[in-house]
Structure 1
Amino acid sequence: MESEPPFQETYKILLRNLMEEESAERVHHDHENSKNHSISDIEYELPVIDLSCLSLGDLCQEKCKREIADAASKWGFFQVVNHGISGEITARMRQQQVMLFRQPFHKKANIGKSLKLSSTDFCYRWGTPTATSLKQLSWSEAFRIPLSHISGLKEFNTNLSSTVEDFVEVASKLAQRIAEILAENLGLQSTFFVENCLPSSCYLRMNRYPPCPISSSKVLGLTPHTDSDFLTILNQYQVGGLLLVKDGEWVRVKPNPQALIINIGDLFQAWSNGVYKSIEHKVVTNQEVERFSIAYFFCPSYDAVIKSCMPPSIYRKFSFKEYRDQVQEDVKSTGSKIGLLRFLI
């Protein structure tokens, strides 16, 4: 299809090496790989929290807030229902997202240029340009859209622009509310998030994971990572594929079409002095079905200073720009993100 990124052509050497390895494995059965694959097939339902309780009596509100804080500290991931983002908006988002990714590949790759937006304003990404091995390759494509530049999409597609605006308006309020609850649980009435996590610093990422002809145990849709923001709001629709680390094992997250997934990012782990956990996660490929998701990233401005909110601090203070620069440097030099380990005291 003319819309598909040229994965097989671009990564043909890595894929050829894989075929040779698989041929050898058929002769010498690899027990450890079989064991790891079975662990990945374990499916969990994340904690589900009904946010409608926040508008009820005091006891119900406090119970809901405790559930959010407990999930953030024990899982790092949880699901929310009655979250305020209507099914009508999410249905429109999926429709517009599918139409966007169905554009011819050459057009997708040049949308930013045609709109005269820089790569930091709006970008289309696919695969992993720096991959030197299959474990570094992400079999996916994505559009990154800073919230401050949504209006720039009107020139390309007014329906897409208006739909994204409707989605992020509610998602932004949801992210602020959850951040406030998590701060309140630590005994803080903090204005940090209102002052620093503005639309100009947050962004949206629309993802597509094309069918992959290779086993998901060999090629991933998205490589293992933690998010570098405060928190992420994810809609993974009905097709599963998200895995996270729980008790030292990779487990599958069971899709819940009525729920949004919330996950804690590195900045909240540092800000909370390790109370809330930023958990490693990844996405596996599917050999037959494509998968879409949309993620809202709740970020501060680049010059915002992140420091632990209670002593004694586990992490030294740092700016968000310093953190992002360090992550990019590590990925470039080592092939993977090192993250908060770089900022331990």
Structure 2
Amino acid sequence: MRSLTPEPPLEEKYGDLFRKYSNGDTVEHGEGTFNTEGVEEMELPLIDLGRLSLGGKEEEECKREIALASQEWGFFQVVNHGISREVLERMKSEQVKLFRRPFMEKVNDACMNFPMGSYRWGSPSATRLSQLSWSEAFHVPMSNISGLTGRDNLSLTMEQFATKISELAQKLGQILAEKLGQDPMFFKEHCLPSTCYLRLNRYPPCAVSSKIVGLMPHTDSDFLTILHQDNIGGLQLVKDGKWIAVKPNEDALIINIGDLLQAWSNDVYKSVEHRVLTNQHKERFSMAYFFCPSYDSIIQSCGEPQVYRRFSFREFRQQVQDDVKRLGYKIGLPRFIL
């Protein structure tokens, strides 16, 4: 019975899209097409944050590498990041238990008194296979984590994880602002713990994995995203105009630049399109922290001539939501170019 199974009914919900594809529909995204096969695997730039505590040339070289990777890749990975393996492993264990709950419990937010609508699965606006994300997730505002009732192992572990990862995001934001010659306190003033989000992801096995992505191609609508993933793999990003597969490293956290930081830096730092592929036999788990400002925060390019007009985070999010609802996919920053 569905009430007892943990799996979201993806095949049942999107059966018409499968049948449409089998009848000759092409896999499209926007106006183009994408290929999920034959992608080269590469390692992201790896940065040891322990060097920041050494001072002098070591500290400055570490900061330079962070800024350079943000310009050239839009992605990098870090070790000695301040979050212990014990916390990460405990977080993964509790996350797995959460997703093992019966599907209807997750839909009804009966797992842990998460805020209404925290649990999401599939892609409600999908009109073709390329717009379908074969995944399920809990999207939880940071402001709700400390207020979760029950104070069980998951809530306590989430709070500990969120506190540490918030500190890391602030540290990285400060470095990136500093290397632009901007106020290093900008993010401390605009990105409060209460304005950020934590997303717990699960990508179920998919029998037709060559035709469906776990998460459709997109850029992130924040300043920074910090990701911890397992060793299954599947994360891909665009580098020099082609897709590359990211080699998993369970000891590292992955950092990627979001749309807001690209706009704020006047295109110095790059928000890069990325996606997650499905796996035919194995499930994949990840945890993502989204470093966001308040809805009323104004994003203004810090360089001249300015590439983007001034806009609020609220306005940006609303435009993204409108586009996804109307088109099935996100447009993002091009909507705000001067």
Aligned twin of 1:132:
127
Correspondent of 1:143 among 138, 144, 163: 138
- Indicate if the aligned counterparts of 1:303 and 1:319 stay in contact, CA closer than 8 A: yes
Q: Which amino acid aligns with 2:295?
A: Y
Aligned twin of 1:293:
286
**What secondary structure is seen at the aligned counterpart in 2 of 1:162?**
helix
Q: Which amino acid aligns with 2:175?
A: I
Aligned twin of 2:216:
223
**What secondary structure is seen at the aligned counterpart in 1 of 2:194?**
coil
**What secondary structure is seen at the aligned counterpart in 2 of 1:263?**
strand
Q: Which amino acid aligns with 2:191?
A: C
- Indicate if the aligned counterparts of 2:112 and 2:149 stay in contact, CA closer than 8 A: no
Identity among equivalent positions (%) equals 60
**What secondary structure is seen at the aligned counterpart in 1 of 2:5?**
coil
**What secondary structure is seen at the aligned counterpart in 1 of 2:195?**
coil
1:117 Cα deviation after fit = 3.3
Aligned twin of 1:209:
203
1:130 Cα deviation after fit = 1.1
Aligned twin of 1:14:
17
Using the alignment, how far apart are the partners of 1:105 and 1:60 within structure 2?
50
| TM norm structure 1 | 0.92
1:5 aligns with 2:5: no
Q: Which amino acid aligns with 2:164?
A: V
Q: Which amino acid aligns with 2:145?
A: I
1:116 Cα deviation after fit = 7.8
- Indicate if the aligned counterparts of 2:115 and 2:140 stay in contact, CA closer than 8 A: no
1:212 Cα deviation after fit = 0.3
Correspondent of 2:61 among 42, 60, 63: 63
For 1:118-197, list aligned pairs within 5 A. 118-119=116-117, 123-155=118-150, 158-197=152-191
Paired residues in the alignment total 330
Aligned twin of 2:30:
none
- Indicate if the aligned counterparts of 2:173 and 2:184 stay in contact, CA closer than 8 A: no
Measured against aligned partners, the alpha-carbon deviations of 1:97-151 in whole angstroms (never above 9, x if no partner) come to: 00000000000111169838343xxx10000011111011000000011110013
Distance 1:257 1:116, change over 3 A: closer
**What secondary structure is seen at the aligned counterpart in 2 of 1:309?**
coil
Aligned twin of 1:281:
274
Q: Which amino acid aligns with 1:244?
A: L
Segments of structure 1 that go 5 or more residues without pairing to the other structure are 25-32
Aligned twin of 1:29:
none
- Indicate if the aligned counterparts of 1:210 and 1:291 stay in contact, CA closer than 8 A: yes
Aligned twin of 2:43:
45
Using the alignment, how far apart are the partners of 1:231 and 1:208 within structure 2?
21
1:303 Cα deviation after fit = 0.2
Correspondent of 1:85 among 83, 86, 90: 83
Segments of structure 2 that go 5 or more residues without pairing to the other structure are 27-32
Q: Which amino acid aligns with 1:333?
A: R
1:334 Cα deviation after fit = 1.3
Q: Which amino acid aligns with 2:7?
A: E
Query: Which structure shows the bigger proportion of residues in helix conformation?
Result: 1
| TM norm structure 2 | 0.94
**What secondary structure is seen at the aligned counterpart in 2 of 1:208?**
strand
**What secondary structure is seen at the aligned counterpart in 2 of 1:135?**
helix
- What value does the CA root-mean-square deviation take over the aligned residues? 1.9
